[in-house]
Every structure is written in C-alpha cells, then in structure tokens.
Structure 1
C-alpha cells in the first residue's frame, strides 16, 4: 500500500513538472512572437537608406537623413529655377523628331491673386514640384501674373520667349539641421521673336532650401511622360520653401539691421516673398 502511494505521488510530480514546463515553453514562444512582430513593424516603418549625389556623380549612403552635398544643392537650385523661368512657347522635346519640330506649349491655367486665371508654361508647372506644398500655390500665382500671354502666341509677330541667365549661385549656408540659405544672382531676359528686342530684369534672390524624403513612383512602368518629369524633380530630396530678395551688400556676409533695411529684404511689397 505504501509503495502504491509513493508511485502515485511520483507520477503526480512528473505530470506537474511537465505541465509547468509546457506552460513556460508556451509563454517563451509567445514572447518570441511578440518580439519578432515588433521588429518586423520597425523594419516596415524604417526609411530607406538616404543616398546623396556627390559632385562626381557617384552616390553614397549616409546615416543622416538631413545631409546633402553643397554642390548638389547648388545644382538643384540652378536646375529648378531655369526650368521655372525658361519660357519658349514649346514643350520640352521627348524624341529626336521633336527636337526639330517641337510641340507647342498650350500652357496650364493658374488662378491668380486677383481672382482671374492666367497661363503658365508646362515647364514652370513641372518645376514647381521642387517647391514646398505650402509655398508652391502662391508662387505659381505670381508666376502666372508675370508670364506674358505672348509666350503662347502662335503668331510670329507677337511671340515672346523668356530665359533665366544665372550669373552666380553662392555656396549654401546652413541655417538649421537640413536647411540652407542659397543666394542666386541672375537676369531674366524676355525677347521678342520678331525683332529680337530684349527686356532684361535683374533676378537676385535668396532661396531657402530644406531636405525632404523621396518616395518613388509606385507605377513607374505605367507612368506618363509628365508623371516621370514630376517625380524626377523630387529625386534630389530637396525643396525650396521660401524665396526672398537677395542683398548684394557686404559680399553676401551677415548683414546688420541697417543694411537689411537698405537692401529692402524685409519689404512686404517685394515679389516672391512668402
């Protein structure tokens, strides 16, 4: 009888230990699944590696998402502003045939601050995606107001073109993490096609630029030419969020309050001031 009781107690102890071990194993597996789920979610939310284009055209991965090469910033400024203010009345050529016979630019209607609508060139509209969204709408209205209707005229005696000639783009000055101030000295040249008469307007601006994320076109294979052009603007991972008048005093160094007043950089009536 005593042996039978000892055998039952021993069996009960083994079953209890097995139950505890099984429960502990289940808890361990559950914790492992929770840990794995958290890691997978972190990977899904992690931004892709940021690549910065160097001067020699090579791309290098960087750990700082706000890092940009100074020369890449200058090239972005030049490319965006030239596309914004070069108005030829024709669409950018997409094929060899279009180089010899370009398509006419019908323009894109933009609502102005006066409540009406005026056309801007297609290249200006595409280049505007290099601006921040809050700044883009107001800037496009200003572009529409200064774009001559003759740019879209098919009458040779009335046709007009515009070209931005950049004389200098100053080295970017870092004003905050991921933000730079870039000065640009240029002339906006408007030319009549019929007699080659020109109107030259100084276009000296301070551009505030910041680093942004870039998301590739999810349907790149089915994208139209216009969509590809828009997405290509964002590949630089930069955007212009403010444009001010540039003060050329003191060789673009830090200016005191008196010099700023003299330059008029804080005058609210100036164009392109957000």
Structure 2
C-alpha cells in the first residue's frame, strides 16, 4: 500500500513538472512572437534607405537623408524643365514602330483661374510630379494658359512646337539643410511646323529645391508606362517648391548673392513666365 502511494506521488510530481515546463515554454514562445511582431512593425514604419544619384547616374546609399550631389540637383532641374516645356504634339515613342509613326498627344485638361479648361502636354503633366503638391496645381494652371492650342492641332499648317533651350544651370546654393537655390538661363522657343516662324521668350529662373522621401512602386511589373514615368520622376528624391525670376548680371558669369537685385523680388510662380 505504501509503495503504491509512493508511485502515485512520483507520477504526480512528474506530471506537475511537465505541466509547468510546458507552460513556461508556451510563455516564452508567446513572448518571442510579440517581440517579432514589434520588430516587423518597426521595419514597416522605417523609411527606406536614401539613395543619391551621382554624376554618372549610379545610385549609392547615403547616411544623410538631406544630402544631395550638386550635379544631381542640376540634372534634376534640367531634365524636369526640358520635359515641362518641350511640346511636340506627339507622345514619346515606346516601341520601334512609334519612332517612325508617333502617337498624337491628346493633352491633359487643366482648370485655369478663369474657370475654363485648357490643355497641357502629357510630358508636362508627368514632369509636374517633380513639383511639391502645394505648388503643382497653380503651376499647371499657369502653364496651361501659356500653352498654345495649336500644339494639339492635327492640321499641319497650324501645328506648333515648343522647346526649352538651356544655356546655363548655376551650381546649387544651399539655403537650409536639404534645400537649395538653383539659377537657370534658358530660352523658350515656340515654332510653327510650317514656315518655321519662331517666337523666343527668355526663361531665366531661380528654382528652390528640397530633398524628399521616395517609395518604390509596389507593383512595378504591372504598372503602365505613365505610372512608370511618374515614379521615375520622383526617384530623384528632389522636388521643386518655388520658382522665381532670375536677374542676369555680369553677362551670365555669376549668380548675384544680393537678393535686392533679383528680378521680380517677392514674385513667385504667378509671374514666372514673364
């Protein structure tokens, strides 16, 4: 009888130890799962690593989120403005067949302050995503007002083209952490396709640029050509948030540091084409 009781006690002790050990293991697993969940959440909220485009176009990781190479900033301004103000009436070729027979650009309808809708070129609309959101809407309205309807004309005798010819882009001047001022000297040339009559308008501007975050396209494989173009614009991690008139002194040889001599002091994008 005594031996039977001892066996029962030993069996009970083993079961108790086993139950406690199992419970402890479950508590440890639960703790590890909670810790893993917190780590995953932190990763999802973390900004992607900042890549800066160098002069040769190769992206490299940069520890400073606000640092940008001067030449990358100048290239950003140049390619954005050329895309913004080069109107051919056709869409960029996506295939070999479209090189010989380009598609007509139907344009994008934009509301103007007068309440009427006017068209801008598709390349202008895509390039406008390089502007800050609060600046973009007013800028597009101004560009719509200056875009001749003849750009979208199917009549070759009336059709017009526009091209921005850049003469010089000044080295970026840092005005704050992650913000730069860049001067550009250029001409906006509008030309009739038939006859070749040209209208040349000086386009000498100061661009205020700042560093921004960028998130890659989550569905790059299924994206349209238009979506890919927009994402490529934002991939430079820069945006233009203001355009001012630029005074040209000393025959383009230097960018004046005296703000009192700037053309149109106090004027912003509302008069950027004048």
Distance in 1 between the 2:170 and 2:68 partners? 16
Residues 1:200 and 1:112: Cα distance change in structure 2 (over 3 Å):
same
Tell me the TM-score normalized by structure 1. Answer: 0.84
Q: Is structure 2 residue 51 aligned with structure 1 residue 48?
A: no
Contact 1:212/1:239 (<8 A) preserved: yes
Does the residue aligned with 1:249 lie in a helix, a strand or coil?
coil
- Within a 5 Å distance, the mapping from 1:165-244 to structure 2 comes to 165-244=165-244
Contact 1:132/1:239 (<8 A) preserved: yes
- Within a 5 Å distance, the mapping from 1:238-257 to structure 2 comes to 238-249=238-249, 251-257=254-260
Residues 1:100 and 1:268: Cα distance change in structure 2 (over 3 Å):
closer
- Within a 5 Å distance, the mapping from 1:128-143 to structure 2 comes to 128-143=128-143
Cα deviation for residue 111 of structure 1 reads 0.4
Distance in 1 between the 2:77 and 2:44 partners? 33
Partner of residue 5, structure 1:
none
Distance in 1 between the 2:24 and 2:228 partners? 56
After superposition, the C-alpha distances for 1:60-116 in whole angstroms (9 at most, x for unaligned) are 211111111111111111111000000011111111111111111111110011110
- Within a 5 Å distance, the mapping from 1:68-87 to structure 2 comes to 68-87=68-87
Distance in 2 between the 1:42 and 1:249 partners? 52
Tell me the TM-score normalized by structure 2. Answer: 0.84
Cα deviation for residue 206 of structure 1 reads 0.5
Distance in 2 between the 1:234 and 1:256 partners? 30
Greater than 3 Å deviation, 4+ residue runs:
21-40, 267-270
Partner of residue 96, structure 2:
96
Q: Is structure 2 residue 63 aligned with structure 1 residue 66?
A: no
Contact 1:52/1:61 (<8 A) preserved: yes
Distance in 2 between the 1:146 and 1:39 partners? 52
Q: CA RMSD in A?
A: 2.6
After superposition, the C-alpha distances for 1:98-148 in whole angstroms (9 at most, x for unaligned) are 111111111111001111001111110111111111111100000100000
Cα deviation for residue 186 of structure 1 reads 0.3
Does the residue aligned with 1:154 lie in a helix, a strand or coil?
coil
Does the residue aligned with 1:252 lie in a helix, a strand or coil?
coil
Distance in 1 between the 2:159 and 2:25 partners? 82
Cα deviation for residue 34 of structure 1 reads 5.3
Cα deviation for residue 59 of structure 1 reads 2.2
Partner of residue 157, structure 2:
157
Contact 2:243/2:268 (<8 A) preserved: no
Partner of residue 3, structure 1:
none
Residues 1:97 and 1:27: Cα distance change in structure 2 (over 3 Å):
closer
Residues 1:48 and 1:191: Cα distance change in structure 2 (over 3 Å):
same
Contact 1:245/1:270 (<8 A) preserved: no
Contact 2:244/2:267 (<8 A) preserved: no
Gaps of 5+ in 2: 1-12
